[in-house]
Amino acid sequence: MISARSVLAITLLAAAPNLPAQSIVDWTEGPGRLGLGYPVPIPVDTPLPFDGFRSHAGLHARHQDLAAMHDFVSSTIVGHTRKGRDIWAYRIGRGGDSTFEGLPRGALQFTGGIHAREWQSPEVVTGLMELLAEESGDRHWIDFVLDQTSIVLIPVLNVDGFLQTQRYPSSNWLDVDNRYPDTSPRDGRMRRKNLRGADQDLTTSTGRLAGVDLNRNNEPAWPGPPQTGTAVDLTYRGPAPASEPETQALISAAELAPGEQLRFYADMHSFSKVFFSVLTDNQRRNGIQRRVLELAADHHAALPGRKRYIDDPSHIDFGIGTTSEYFASEFHVPSLTWEIEPGQATGAEYGGFGNNGHDGFILPESEIRRVRENLAETMTAIAYHMAGPPHVVRAELFDESGRFTLWTARWMPAEEGRRQAVTRSVRPLSAGEAYRLRVTFNKPMRWREDGDVVPFPGRAASSLDIEAGLALGNETLSVVAGEAEWHRQPSTWQGRRPRYRDDTVTIPIRLEDNQNNIALLEGSRSRSVTLVLAAEDMTGHSLDADPATPAGFRWGAWRDYDGELGPDLGGRDRTLALAATTRQADPVIPVSAGHSAMWFNPDRSGEGWVLEVLPENRAVAYWFTFDDEGRPRWLVGNGRIEGNRVEFPELIAASGARFGPDFDPEDVETATVGSARMVFDGCTGGWYEYEAYGFHRTIDFQALTSTWNAPCGPNVGFPDIERAGESGSWYDPAQAGQGLTVQWISPEQMMLVWFTFDAEGRPYWIIGLSRAGSTDPVVFPELRAVRGPVFGDDYDPGALEQTLWGRAELSLDCAQGQFEYETDIEGFVGGVLPLERLTRLAGLECP
């Protein structure tokens, strides 16, 4: 009798020829079970991008090099793999957790290499890192992203598995998978999971099906579908949520953002060309996610290759344990599993055989450069968008020529994270007169190709539309607006705010002098009109309608992103007002010789400016003020005159040289500490806007003196022209770095300010008024030193302390002179300075 065991054995032997043998099978370029139809990619040990795939060592070297070369790239080991290997994360962004305004910096996170066989993923995440690093300094959207966001990158999370796939770049097991044995290769090149319970030797059967799918190991949807509970399954979820050290490292990396400032998460995978986005019960978050992924899909489809990604959102409250579900639930941010190309055609999309669906994981080497570069740009577009909506930073109204400033408004940081508008006006806007409106935004607003402004790739032509109008209450005024001209160069005059190309636009406008406008203006008590602005940034964000409350992102929605379009959508800015009139306005007085004077603010007595108007539309200004400890400080600016304003691109501070016989000009050290502008609303007043030492402020001023024989307006003349021409700056070439500015304020009296240093090399200034009637020499019976108030917002004129420093006599002719001084102040000694002319004032002749 044949035993049952023998019958079973005979049956198995008879069937054996029909059972495929479990074996290691290679991917090949030619036909075969795993034929690709294109060369099998082999990783190369190089850090630099090329038309192929880099090894893990090459990628890691690239990451470390970029971190070493750029101070805005920091590297951190956030955990270790099952085999004890380091898992690195990189944080990219300038500054700390706050922007230059002290506002929370938006953060994004991109994770690569979760599934080991998906080589596209680490290359793409590295490509983003390379784009941000290598294109930094573009003064455009890359710099904006670096200034306004923090981007956390994990190029390779599953390091163990990734190394296993590169150890066996063409080999894997077939006929071993628990669900699809004849078509689903496992381990080697096709390893998906980490190495929990697995060795690293492909030739052994130990652990070839072991490991945990790191994209099924996450809360809140763990344990997920039933099949993920099978240990040998390709999607095994692990024994507990976040059981794997790699998952724990991913969670730790989020705190680099930090987590509460996250605005977007994507886990980069391949393949299928799909956004598997996560829906939650937060509909505002879902709407933001939908819009940003539409932006990404449209943009990417416009890039070389024309590859369009499709958004396939999940069902609400359904999940399978992915990292994107964790980030959507934990941080309430738009979150997705981003499946990189190819699409459903797999390798056939590139001319391959496409005879095994898993060839989609093996992108041809000839395609990876395009994929890497295009996706890096699309990811950057998302970062630009999620950095926040655009808002008006500054608006200025000029005459038709653009030379004369008529009105300015700017938003500056205020208390409790708010902003306040600072406005100044020279004269009202007049109906019927042509003007130029210049508006600056907080971000680059336009894209260029071949130097021309064009829609951002994927955006419609209508995205370039911009509206500039005026309203009186609820009534819209008739305005003719010309073609908008975007500025190729970064804006000026935004203080510490970073400046970008195409952040500023100039629009010709004219308030029509028609019957309706005139009736509305004459019927208004205030005659105040509202500037109405509407625009979109490159990716479709409309304006934040109220810059006073900075927009932010929290709990899945934009906060304080105001506008009539609805929550998270923005709208028209109607926050700025200016005076208007139906009458013809008076002409604006340009900066002229008569503006050479001393200027001050009565509420800030003790500090002020000496302005010298020079020939050829140049000027120099000396700002005598104090440091943050109340010691004397002086700053110098060399400027250019434009209409009724003077622009000082640099404010220079000097220090180092010591007063007296030991003065050495080689000891003088200069530093650019800021910039400034002076705008005049006539002959006797205006305002000074400056950025220096962390302050960006506007100070009104009025004339304290006037220069004799240099009137502002018709020149009435004085008989003694020669002596009036002595006004200006003088110095001793042997003691370059210090000097005097003198000003005849009448035929009989001179004002003097001496800009020098104390015995410790600190800046020091001394001021004096001559004895009336003393002309040769000019006698200064009392030279005074001043200290007490502190620089900036806490300036207190009540703290002013004057000290009698000494006396002096000054002899001048048109080219040279002598300054003899005496003092009893400790640390100073008397002496004589032979002088030569340094500046000659415009409008004053000195034969």
The yes-or-no answer on residue 666 being catalytic is no
Find, among 43, 57, 49, 55, the residue nearest to 170 by Cα.
43
What angle (nearest 5°) sits at the alpha carbon of residue 597, between those of residues 594 and 600? Answer: 130
Query: Three-state SS for 493?
Result: coil
Instruction: Specify the DSSP class assigned to residue 159.
Output: H
Task: Classify strands 475-476 and 801-812 as parallel, antiparallel or unpaired.
Answer: unpaired
| Catalytic choice (244, 339, 536, 607) | 339
Angle formed by the axes of helices 141-148 and 120-134, to 10°?
A: 100
Residues 6+ positions from 28 with CB-CB distance below 8 Å: 34, 35, 36, 40, 170
Contact status, residue 619 vs residue 612, Cβ threshold 8 Å: yes
For 839, how many CA atoms within 13 A lie in the half-sphere containing its CB?
25
The SS3 of residue 142 is: helix
Structure tokens belonging to residue 97: 């957790």
What would the two tokens of residue 103 be? 């506002």
Residue with tokens 């934990």: 330
Q: What is the CA radius of gyration of the chain?
A: 36
Helix (H, G, I), strand (E, B) or coil at 178: coil
- What secondary structure does DSSP assign to 382-437, as a single string? HHHHHT----EEEEEEEETTS-SEEEEEEEEE-GGG-EEEEEEESS-EETT-EEEE
Greatest Cα pair distance, the chain, in angstroms, is: 145
**With contact defined as beta carbons under 8 Å apart, do 557 and 285 qualify?**
yes
Separation in Å, CA 822 to CA 493, 497, 803, 805: 43, 46, 14, 8
Q: Which of 590, 565, 584, 701 is nearest to 643 (CA)?
A: 590
Distances (CA, A) of 520 to 437, 529, 563, 585, 846: 22, 10, 26, 18, 55
CB 701 within 8 Å of CB 685: yes
636 touches 610 (CB < 8 A): no
Please give the positions annotated as active site. 339
